[in-house]
Amino acid sequence: MRAEAAILEARGLTLHFGGIRAVHAVDFRMWEGELRCLIGPNGAGKTTFFNLLTGRLRPQAGSIAFRGHDITARRPHERVRLGIARTFQITNLFQRLTVFENVRLAAQRRRETWNILRRRSDLPGVEGKAMEVLEWVGLGGRAALPASALSHGERKKLELAVARAADPELLLLDEPTAGLNDAETAEVARLLKGVAGRVSLLVIEHDIAFVREIAERITVLNRGEILAEGTVGEIEANPQVQEVYLAGAEVIG
């Protein structure tokens, strides 16, 4: 096993909401540079799992380690500082700020300063980084618009750019293609494959074609527990997985 290269490791992670086992005794491990997809029927606990990893929610039991350091008690912003960035299922941007300011704020975090004699525009490397990630997702021409003026597809791309602007080591993407058309989905797949290897990616996805296109390994979550884990081929051949998806009237492929 490549245990020494685990970037993220959850052990026995558990959070129940009343009687609902949203996430239950999940053991999960991700490798450095891996592109992993997290799939499962609606209500399987995928987003709750993300919220536990990023500190938006606190687990009732279990632990989370990032690069071998226990981060279970760390506050959300501290986890980001360690190198874990995320996007949100429902786009979560600074709607009234410009597209550029959205990414600039994310890039500025690496150069955080309390010196009020500095101008926001003369922090070394920040504006360059911001423009670089905007160009990466093809929004360079939209920089001066308020984020609220973007189309849904552009907002999803801006979320990607914001997430990358802080140079995270682990990127958690919650349904990056939700609501996108085929061309936009293909574009997102291309972008993610382009950074895979340099950044570790954990992607929640519903679009199975998209998952097949990008994933190296897949983890299937069902009713808060891990049902299966493996390569795309292994998962598609797994009878338990097929059963769950058929029961939920969702078909793989």
The yes or no reply on residue 119 touching another protein (CB under 8 A) is yes
Please give the C-alpha separations between residue 118 and each of 98, 112, 114, 123, 124, in angstroms, as whole numbers: 21, 11, 9, 7, 11
Structure tokens at 55: 């500190």
Residue from 5, 70, 111, 198 in contact with another protein (CB under 8 A): 111
Question: In a 3-state reduction of DSSP, which class is residue 120?
Answer: helix
Instruction: Report the residue number, 22 or 84, with the smaller CB distance to another protein.
Output: 84
- CA-to-CA distance for 55 and 61, rounded, in angstroms? 14
Q: Number of residues interacting with another protein: please give it, by CB under 8 A.
A: 33
The yes or no reply on residue 115 touching another protein (CB under 8 A) is yes
Distance in Å, CB of 172 to another protein, minimum: 10
Binding mask of the shown chain, residues 41 to 60, with x at each position contacting another protein by CB under 8 A: -------------x------
Residue from 69, 112, 128, 253 in contact with another protein (CB under 8 A): 112
Amino acid at site 93: L
Residue from 123, 131, 145, 196 in contact with another protein (CB under 8 A): 123
**Cβ–Cβ < 8 Å for 188, 223:** no
Question: In a 3-state reduction of DSSP, which class is residue 33?
Answer: coil
Structure tokens at 229: 């884990």
Instruction: Report the residue number, 85 or 139, with the smaller CB distance to another protein.
Output: 85
Buried/exposed 68-95: b ≥16 CB within 10 Å, e otherwise: eeebbebeeeebbeebbbbbbeebebee
The yes or no reply on residue 96 touching another protein (CB under 8 A) is yes
Residue from 9, 34, 101, 187 in contact with another protein (CB under 8 A): 101
Residue from 11, 21, 67, 81 in contact with another protein (CB under 8 A): 81
**Residues lying near another protein in the complex (CB under 8 A):** 54, 75-77, 80-81, 85-86, 92-97, 101, 104-106, 108-109, 111-120, 123, 162, 166
